[in-house]
A and B are shown apart, each in its own frame.
Chain A
Amino acid sequence: MTDSSRDNEAQLIQGMKAGDNESFQEAVRAYTPGMLAVARFYLDHSSAEEVVQDCWVKVIDAIRNFEGRSGLKTWLHRIVANRCKNRLRSANREVPTDFSESLEPELANRFNAKGRWDLPPKLQFHDSADTLMENGALSDCLDKHLSALPETQRSALMLYEAHQHKSDDVCNILDVSASNLRVLLHRARQKIFLMVETFQETGEC
């Protein structure tokens, strides 16, 4: 985090503590996508939206006790996670997870019996991420594949890559062990890798 973004955050928090409507609108826009990613780890789409809405109302009071020991984002994500966990507990539901294999089957099949590449990656992803993202078709394709990921993988990926949380925070928010987080991340990245590869080779999603 840069100094200026830290100043912005401090200002935003002050505004929220003072009950300033505009500060809340700004915060809602900045933090809702991440909060939804957390909630979707635990709940279906409409319940997740419900929880995020409720959390924002709760934050109006809770922000007064926010001491800034963690960043605002982490604090908000924890509130969402706790609320989701309570909800699951009362519904007596478990989060389904699969941590058994670290290689995607589609990738695992590309090695021979000795463990050497049978179907190696053919070409290098030549462009930088920024140039790739200017490609609207690829960006749409990425969206499509992200939404097809299992919720657990997507949430872990979004919190870690897109929202730049540290591993410890992601484990804490999602209630998974460090080693399980590694599996979730790796599985999700492989799927994105396979998607980009197909896209570069065929131009199709």
Chain B
Amino acid sequence: MLMCKDLAAIASDYIDGELPVLQKMSVRMHLMMCRHCRTFIGNLRASSNLLSAHSSGKADEEFLRRIDERVAEALLSVRKNKDSDSE
């Protein structure tokens, strides 16, 4: 018999559809009988959705501008090399 603690340990695999069929079925059986685990799975799923909705990580603007500068510089030297090749 699958206990609540066992279910909690594989809850992410269940949410992501990564469980083998038999295990998936025993999770479903357990969920039908256990209100606490239903709440847990629902809340864990909500936590996962929250992360997808959360900005996918911010990089600070100053760092981005430093990259822009280095890229612009490098592009310029690529262009110069091309021009001198074609002369």
A residues whose Cβ falls under 8 Å from a Cβ of B: 19, 21, 24-25, 28-29, 32-34, 36-37, 49, 52-53, 56-57, 60-61, 102-103, 107-108, 111, 114-117, 120-121, 123-125, 128-130, 132-133, 139, 142, 146, 157-158, 161-164, 167, 182, 185-186, 189-190, 192-193, 196-197
Given the known inter-chain contacts A19-B75, A114-B3, please indicate yes or no for A125 contacting B64, CB distance below 8 A.
no
Question: What separation, in Å, do the CA atoms of A32 and B55 have in the docked complex?
Answer: 13
Closest B residue to A161 by beta carbon equals: B51
10 contacts between A and B (CB under 8 A): A56-B71, A124-B42, A133-B50, A133-B54, A158-B57, A161-B48, A189-B44, A189-B48, A189-B51, A196-B43
Bound-state Cα–Cα, A61 to B78, Å: 9
A56 near B70 with CB under 8 A, answer yes
Say yes or no: A139-B54 contact (C-beta < 8 A), given A116-B4, A125-B42.
yes
User: Bound complex: CA of A19 vs CA of B72, how far in Å?
Assistant: 9
What residues of chain A lie closer than 8 Å to B58, measured between beta carbons? 33
Interface positions, chain B 36-73, Cβ under 8 Å from A, are 36-37, 39-40, 42-44, 46-59, 63-64, 66-68, 70-72
Task: Provide the bound-state CA to CA distance between A24 and B69, in Å.
Answer: 11
Closest to A102 in B: B9
- Say what secondary structure dominates the interface of chain B: helix
What 6 pairs across the A-B complex have the smallest Cβ distances? A115-B3, A120-B36, A162-B56, A115-B5, A186-B12, A129-B49
Measured CA separation A188–B10 after assembly (Å): 13
Q: Are B47 and A29 within 8 A (Cβ)?
A: no
Instruction: Establish whether residues A108 and B64, one from each chain, have CB atoms under 8 Å apart when the complex forms.
Output: no
Pair A32/B67 contact, Cβ less than 8 Å: yes
Judging by beta carbons under 8 Å apart, are A162 and B12 in contact?
Answer: no
CB distance from B79 to the nearest CB of A (A): 7
Tell me whether A32 and B64 are in contact (CB under 8 A). yes
Give the interface SS of chain A, mostly helix, strand, loop or mixed: helix
Nearest chain-B residue to A20 (Cβ)? B75
- B6 within 8 Å of A (CB atoms): yes
Determine if B11 is an interface residue (Cβ-Cβ < 8 Å). Answer: yes
Contacts of B54 in A (CB 8 A): 133, 139, 142, 146, 162
Residues of chain A with a CB closer than 8 A to B4's CB: 111, 115-117
A199 to chain B, nearest CB (A): 11
**What does the 1/0 interface line of B1-26 toward A look like (CB < 8 Å)?**
00111101111110010100000000
CB distance from A66 to the nearest CB of B (A): 16
Which residue from B13, B57, B59, B79 sits with its C-beta under 8 Å from A162?
B57
| B50 in contact with A190 (CB, 8 Å) | no
Given known A28-B67, A111-B5, contact A129–B50 (CB-CB < 8 A): yes
In contact, B68 and A28 (Cβ under 8 angstroms): yes
Q: How far is the CA of A49 from the CA of B4 in the complex (A)?
A: 43
